[in-house]
């Protein structure tokens, strides 16, 4: 009986992944090898086992990677991938610069107020993500709250043009994903033994040197986890660049949506999604390796 429950406990996560990740991935992969048609659904699959084995072998004989070749050779998609990588990397760096001091301050705060600080970090999740992004439109637009405050204070004479620019996209991503950076770093720093820092100071190390050699290195697993938790969803973000970035902001999420719903070219859209997933596999594998090394070091 114990082995049965153990197998069920282990098998349920794999079943969940198969149903909600592997199966959709295989469907999208199948569509990426299809041809676009004016029908519903708007694609003609090359592989259809229902037509018999002979039809399947004929499809294999004329199999091509046309959609992948088209996407990789078209500058629109290449620029969208590169722009998404650049925006995601800069946003992750900005989130780390803001999130690390917040997490460090929370970990060093008195135990009595840490739960309140943690609640303040999680509090934005109680509001719809879409509503929070729409709120930034009212803040950043030329007649928005920020420009009204700055002009009323005499700091600026003309409204700042932030809305519908990449700066607005950075603000939206950093604000939306900041908790994903703060929480892993805070969880790591909270468990850290600060007597190591005191020992380093007693041995003549400066405050900055002790922070870099002790605190930063011990917080590295949390930093890596936070960076990946921000970078991976940010690279495929659609809502924030669509609402805050305007038409000039080029990201792969917007391109993917346009191919699916405007052009109705599902094969090319699926190909774009498959390539994006292949790009994200690299940081995911690096993250898993880092987590495994951290777990081995902690034993």
Domains of the chain: 75-298 (1.10.3720.10)
Q: pLDDT averaged over the chain?
A: 84
- Please, are residues 59 and 48 in contact by the beta-carbon 8 Å criterion? yes
| Per-residue model confidence (pLDDT) at position 241 | 92
| Residue written as token pair 């198969």 | 18
Least confident of 99-113, 214-228, 240-254, 285-299: 285-299
| Per-residue model confidence (pLDDT) at position 88 | 94
Q: Is the confidence at residue 49, as pLDDT, over 70?
A: no
Most confident of 35-44, 83-92, 118-127: 83-92
pLDDT by residue (tens digit) across 263-276?
888 888 889 989 88
| Per-residue model confidence (pLDDT) at position 167 | 92
- 3-state SS of 132-189 is HHHHHHHHHCCCCHHHHHHHHCCCCCCCCCCCCCHHHHHHHHHHHHHHHHHHHHHHHH
Least confident of 57-71, 133-147, 194-208: 57-71
DSSP string, 42-76: SEE-S--GGG-HHHHHHHHHT---HHHHHHHH-HH
Most confident of 11-25, 44-58, 233-247: 233-247
């Amino acid at each position: 009986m114990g082995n049965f429950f153990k197998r069920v406990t282990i098998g349920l996560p794999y079943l969940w992944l198969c149903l909600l990740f592997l199966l959709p991935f295989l469907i999208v992969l199948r569509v990426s090898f299809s041809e676009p048609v004016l029908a519903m659904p708007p694609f003609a699959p090359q592989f259809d086992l229902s037509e018999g084995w002979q039809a399947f072998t004929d499809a294999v004989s004329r199999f091509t990677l046309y959609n992948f070749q088209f996407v990789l050779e078209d500058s629109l998609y290449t620029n969208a991938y590169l722009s998404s990588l650049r925006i995601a990397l800069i946003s992750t760096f900005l989130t780390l610069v803001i999130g690390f001091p917040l997490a460090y301050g929370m970990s060093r705060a008195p135990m009595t107020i840490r739960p309140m600080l943690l609640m303040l970090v999680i509090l934005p999740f109680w509001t719809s993500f879409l509503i929070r992004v729409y709120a930034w439109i009212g803040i950043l637009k030329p007649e928005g709250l920020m420009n009204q405050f700055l002009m009323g204070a005499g700091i600026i004479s003309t409204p700042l043009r932030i809305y519908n620019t990449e700066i607005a996209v950075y603000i939206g991503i950093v604000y939306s994903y900041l908790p994903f950076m703060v929480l892993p770093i805070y969880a790591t720093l909270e468990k850290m033994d600060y007597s190591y820092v005191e020992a380093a100071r007693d041995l003549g190390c400066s405050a900055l040197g002790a922070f870099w050699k002790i605190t930063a290195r011990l917080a590295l697993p949390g930093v890596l986890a936070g960076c990946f938790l921000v970078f991976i969803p940010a690279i495929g973000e659609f809502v924030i660049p669509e609402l805050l970035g305007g038409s000039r902001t080029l990201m792969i999420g917007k391109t993917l949506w346009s191919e699916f719903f405007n052009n109705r070219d599902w094969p090319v859209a699926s190909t774009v999604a498959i390539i994006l997933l292949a790009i994200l596999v690299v940081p995911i594998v690096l993250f898993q390796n880092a987590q495994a090394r951290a777990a081995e070091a902690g034993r």
